[in-house]
Amino acid sequence: MILGQFDPLKGERLQIMNEEGVIVKPELMPELSVETLLTIYKTMKFSRIIDEKTLQYQRQGRMLTYAPNLGQEATQVASVAASRQTDWIAPSFRELGVWLYRGAPLDKIFLYWFGNELGMKMPEEVRILPISVPIASQMQHATGLAYASRYKGLDDIAIAYVGDGGTSQGDFHEALNFAAVQDLPNVFIIQNNQFAISTRRMLQTRAETLAQKAIAYGIPGIQVDGNDVFAVYAATSEAVERARSGKGPTLIEAYTYRMGAHTTSDDPTVYRQEEEVKEWAAKDPIMRLKKYLIAQGHWDEAQDAAYEEERGKYVKTVFEAVEKTGLMPLEDIFDFVYAERTPILESQYRHKKAFYEKEVK
């Protein structure tokens, strides 16, 4: 058992593979087939390729806004890999690795960032809720899903992803308390990427770790190295198993780093030093897993280059097709809130329409 072995109050953090891709805790190594491990690696790399290309498209004025995931790939992919396809996911907005691993179509993801909400209408077999921009609101959705699953006598669990900033929202407390009291089949994963836009983690809470917040709810909490796929997978597997067998929710804090900007409208050089980013680049989760896979003889540089080239071309093709669909009509912003526009909405609409006709067309 990993849960319970690492005390967040003592600053203990689970790490199984170190920064060099070396296994330092073989006794805690989770069981993972080579095939699954390669799927995890490829998904992480695919996520990175999409991020890098999308940032370029945005800078070329071809994409609206975008929230990159650089650095958080292990946290996202290894955690979802520990769940079943039928388990529910309640994401925030920065979970590209989760969408990709579950098989969300890339054109849909691009469509969303292109301003089209229909991009979040996932195929039935992809049990991921739409992006939840109001911070931490998805926590409640996850408890609802878990409650419904148990009510129906199913053993599907629900995973919620939330940021370090999200832990300061009331929704975080309500969801954890409710799930704990009701013994709900939930797993709550905090992606502690050290920032909430420009607000550093240390300004978010006086608590030494985010994982220790679990203690107040009477549930297990663990901090893991979020850039170590094995640590993330091992802890999430146990948490998923606990939830599925009726033992209740778990809180996991994945300690990672947002290597890119908050979104494309943010400039992180204003609030953090290049040195810090470099330090974290040396802990890159993709590089780490790649070293391990190559050392084990499961992967090589030629395969890596070929995969990168093939995926790069694929991303370009998908993006160019989505780009052709054009921007959404202005009316869409106003037409889905009320059956009829209120006088204030109507006046805002006229104002915006005049602006668009003058400035945009």
Q: Which of 66, 110, 114, 195 binds ligand TPP (CB under 6 A)?
A: 195
Site string for ligand TPP, 245-284 (x = CB under 6 A): -------------x---x----------------------
Cβ neighbourhood burial of 341 (10 Å; 0-12, 13-18, 19+): middle
167 lines the binding site for Mg ion (CB under 5 A): no
- How far CA 105 is from CA of 19, 99, 100, in Å, comes to 32, 8, 8
From 94, 102, 141, 258, active-site residue: 258
What is the number of the residue whose Cβ is closest to ligand TPP?
163
Q: In this chain, which of 49, 78, 135, 261 binds ligand TPP, going by CB under 6 A?
A: 135
Least distance in angstroms from the C-beta of 197 to ligand TPP: 5
Query: Residue 156, interface with Mg ion (CB under 5 A)?
Result: no
Is 165 an interacting residue with respect to ligand TPP (CB under 6 A)? yes
Handedness of CA 24, 26, 27, 28 (dihedral sign): positive
Between CA 112 and CA 103 the distance in angstroms is 16
> Count residues contacting ligand TPP (CB under 6 A)?
14
CB of 69 to ligand TPP, least distance (A): 9
Q: Which residues pair with 221 in a beta bridge?
A: 251
Say whether residue 100 binds ligand TPP (CB under 6 A): no
| Least Å from the CB of residue 225 to ligand TPP | 18
Asked if residue 253 lies in contact with residue 246, where contact means CB atoms within 8 angstroms, the answer is no
Q: Give SS3 for 170.
A: helix
Least separation in angstroms between CB 59 and ligand TPP: 20
**What are the two backbone dihedrals, phi and then psi, of residue 257, each rounded to the nearest 5 degrees?**
-150, 135
The rounded distance, in Å, linking the Cα atoms of 14 and 237 is: 14
**Residue 4 binds which of ligand TPP, Mg ion, none (CB < 5-8 A, kind-dependent):** none
| Secondary structure string (H, E, C) spanning 27-62 | HHCCCCCHHHHHHHHHHHHHHHHHHHHHHHHHHCCC
* Residue 213: CB minimum distance to ligand TPP, A: 14
Min dist CB 314 to ligand TPP, Å, is 26
Stretch that binds ligand TPP, among 160-168, 228-236, 249-257, 299-307 (CB under 6 A): 160-168
Degrees, nearest 5: CA angle 294-296-300: 25
- Rg of the Cα atoms in the chain: 21
- Residue 49 binding: pick among Mg ion, ligand TPP, none (C-beta 5-8 Å cut-off by kind): none
Active site residue 258: yes
Q: Does 193 bind ligand TPP (CB under 6 A)?
A: yes
Q: Do 248 and 3 touch, CB atoms closer than 8 A?
A: no
Measured from the CB atom, is 262 or 290 closer to ligand TPP?
262
Tell me which of 193, 209, 227, 237 binds Mg ion, using CB under 5 A: 193
Among 160, 191, 192, 186, which Cα is nearest to 250's?
186
Catalytic residue check, 314: no
- Show the tokens assigned to 359: 């400035």
The distance from CA 12 to its chain's CA centroid, rounded to whole angstroms, is 23
Catalytic residue among 59, 84, 200, 271, which? 271
In the complex, the residues that contact ligand TPP under the rule CB under 6 A are 94, 133-135, 163-166, 193, 195-197, 258, 262
Residue numbers annotated as active site: 258, 262, 271
